[in-house]
Structure 1
Amino acid sequence: MRAVQVTEFGGPEVLNLVELPEPVPGPGQQLVGVTRIGVNYADTHQAENSYLAPSKLPLVPGGEVAGRTAGGQRVVSLLNGGGGYAEQAVVDAPTTFAIPDGVDDLTALSFIVQGTTAWLLLRRSSHLEAGETVVVHAAGGGVGSIAVQLAKAWGAGRVIATASTDEKRALALELGADVAVDSRADDMTETLREANGGKRVDIVLDMTGGVTTDQSIAALAPFGRLAFYGMASREQPKAIEARNLLGHSTTVSGMWLPHVFKLPGNVFGRALDELFELALAGEIRAIPGGEYALSDARKAHEALRSRSTVGKLLLDPAK
């Protein structure tokens, strides 16, 4: 089968299209014929071995696929340890979910990671309450574009989106943000306060790190919450220390999606079901970010790393 393999860690240049044997399912697994592959920012970390879970070589990257089982059922699946950038993938039953009729591959793959991440950030990490002001950084991205929609659907009083281009800010406003500001502002603290009518904000969803995180923490109201779920800048924030948190009764949380499977009550399944229901009801939608041939996986990673993309990026394993 055709697959993308990494034999040395690095940037997009280490992604190579090769022929590999078809994977063999083990106990509790099944083989899926892949129809579309989801591309995540985490994949770029996996390829350079800078992800929270260490990578091992040789590696077929990719943590999510949509496809069909041998019996013809359409499914979307999270993969443990990679294996998604291929024509065939072995999936585990606990992290494989039926795709409802009326839901396309783009939507299923947008929700399996980015959608559930946005759901968890608002429901579990920041505990959004009606009327609160929510800041969504990188609002044009996969998580951000869904988080904007969910925050409005769940009663946020004001949603402030940040994005780096006019196109992304226009998209955020179209999705329901009340105001959209430039993520490259020199003083994000002041920018967010101005966008909130001079007041501090209640919640910030942040995947940037570095100065953006530091200045966002400074913009939080007493008992404000910053939910941290990534570090695209690859820069460590400096403001997460006791005196800064005590100064405004600030909460800073981290969220890594795999941990949700350790929670009781099938939280992940409930999140995905609710997202599918909202999509079928027309209340939220997935944003296409571009579809690449499997042979062009390098280009997909280059686009992600440049932070020029919007919405969800896909790979087509048939090309």
Structure 2
Amino acid sequence: MRAVQVTEFGGPEVLNLVDLPDPVPGPGQLVIEVDRIGVNYADTHQAENSYLAPSKLPLVPGGEVVGRTSDGKRVVALLNGGGGYAERAVADEATTFGVPDGVDDLTALSFIVQGTTAAILLRKNAHLEPGESVVVHAAAGGVGSIAVQLAKAWGASRVIATASSDEKRALALDLGADVAIDSRAENMTDALREANGGKRVDVVLDMAGGSVTDQSIAALAPFGRLAFYGMASRQQPKPIETRNLLGHSTTVSGMWLPHVFKLRGNVFGRALDDLFSLALAGQIRAVAGGEYALSDARAAHEALRSRGTSGKLLLDPGK
């Protein structure tokens, strides 16, 4: 089968199209004939071995696919340890989910990682309450574009989006944000408070890291919550001093989706079911970020790393 393989860690240049043997399922696993592959920012970390879970060489990147099982069932799946950038993939039955009629490949792949991340951040980390203000950094991205819509659907009084271009800010507004500001603002604390009518903000969803995180924490209202789920800037924020949290009764939390699978109570499955229901009801939608041939995976990673993308990127394993 055709697949993209990494034999040395690095940037997009280490992604190479090769021929590999078909994957062999183990106990409790399924082989999926892949129709489309989801591309995530985490894949760029996986390729350079800077992800939370260390990578091992040789590596076929990619953690999500949509396709069909041997009995013809249409499924979307999360893959344990990669293997997604290929014509066929092996997935655990426990992380393989049926796709309802009326949900297309783009939507299924947008929801399996980015959508569930947005939903769990808002429900479990931020404990969003109706009438609260929500800041969504990188609001035109995969997680951000869904988080904007969910925040409005779940009762946020004001959704403040940040994005790096006029086009991305326009997309965030089209998705339901009340205001969209430049993510490169010199003083993000002041920019967020101004966007919220001079008031501090209740909830921040942050995947930037560095000074964006520092200044977002400083913008939190009493009992405000910042939910941290990534570090696209590849820069660590300053160490958090607990006395600063005490000063405004604020909360900073983190969420890593692989950890969610270790929890009892089917947190992930419920989030995915909620998303499918909202999509079928026309309340939220996936945003297409571009489709690339499997042979052009390097270009997809280059686009992600440039921060020039919006929505969900896909790979077509047939090209």
TM interval, shorter chain, is over 0.9
Partner SS, residue 107 of structure 2? helix
Please give the alpha-carbon distance, in whole angstroms, between the structure 2 residues aligned to 1:15 and 1:52: 20
The aligned residue for residue 279 of structure 1 is 279
2-structure distance, mates of 1:30, 1:249: 47
What corresponds to 1:170 in structure 2? 170
Structure 2 counterparts to residues 1-319 of structure 1, below 5 A: 1-238=1-238, 240-319=240-319
Q: Does the 8 Å CA contact 1:217/1:239 hold for their aligned counterparts?
A: no
SS at match of 1:83: coil
Cα deviation code 1:209-234 (max 9, x no counterpart): 00000000000011110000000000
1:250 positional shift? 1.2
**Structure 2 stretches lacking a partner, 5+ long:** none
Which amino acid letter does the alignment assign opposite residue 100 of structure 1?
Answer: P
After superposing on structure 2, the runs of 4+ consecutive aligned residues of structure 1 that deviate more than 3 Å are none
Please tell me the residue identity of whatever aligns with 2:248. H
Query: How far off its partner does 1:243 sit?
Result: 2.1
Give distance in 2, aligned partners of 1:73 and 1:251: 43
Aligned residue for 2:227, secondary structure, equals strand
Secondary structure class of the residue paired with 1:65: strand
SS at match of 2:290: strand
CA distance in 2, matches of 1:14, 1:239: 33
Q: Over residues 15-39 of structure 1, what are the superposed CA-to-partner deviations in whole Å (9 max), with x where a residue is unaligned?
A: 0000000010010011110000000
Q: Secondary structure at the match of 1:171?
A: helix
Once the two structures are superposed, what CA deviation does each residue of 1:70-127 show, in whole Å capped at 9, x if it has no partner? 1111000000100000000011000000000000010000000000000000000000
What TM-score, normalized by structure 1, do the two folds share? 0.99
Once residues 188 and 139 of structure 1 are traced to their aligned partners in structure 2, the CA distance between those partners, rounded to angstroms, is 15
Residues in 2 aligned to 1:200 and 1:239: alpha-carbon distance in whole angstroms: 21
Q: What one-letter code is carried by the residue in structure 2 that aligns with 1:133?
A: S
Please, what is the CA RMSD of the aligned residues? 0.6
What SS does the corresponding residue of 2:261 show, helix, strand or coil?
helix
| Equivalent residues of 1:161, 1:172 under 8 A apart | yes
Question: Which secondary structure does the structure 1 equivalent of 2:231 belong to?
Answer: coil
CA contact (8 A) 1:214 1:239 kept: no
* SS in structure 2 of the partner of residue 262 of structure 1: coil
Per-residue CA distance 1:256-312 (angstroms, 9 max, x = gap):
001111222211111101100000000000000000000000000000000000000
Deviation readout 1:39-75 (Å, 9 max, x if unpaired): 0000000000000000000000000000000111100
Query: What amino acid sits opposite 2:302 in the alignment?
Result: E
Distance 1:29 1:262 in 2: 18
**How far apart, in 2, do the equivalents of 1:279 and 1:18 lie?**
37
Query: Aligned partners of 1:176 and 1:81: how far apart in 2?
Result: 35
Residues 158-203 of structure 1 show CA distances to partners (whole Å, capped at 9, x for unaligned) of 0000000011100110111000000000000000000000000000
Separation of aligned partners in 2, 1:242 and 1:156: 28
Q: Secondary structure at the match of 2:315?
A: strand
More off after superposition, 137-146 vs 233-242: 233-242
For 1:72 and 1:178, the matched residues in 2 are separated by 43
In 2, the alpha carbon distance for the partners of 1:241 and 1:177 equals: 31
Cα distance between partner residues in 2 of 1:46 and 1:263: 23
Question: Which TM-score applies when normalising by structure 2?
Answer: 0.99
* Deviation of 1:239 (Å): 5.1
In structure 2, what is the Cα distance between the partners aligned to 1:246 and 1:159? 25
Structure 1 stretches lacking a partner, 5+ long: none
1: CA distance, partners of 2:263 / 2:85: 28
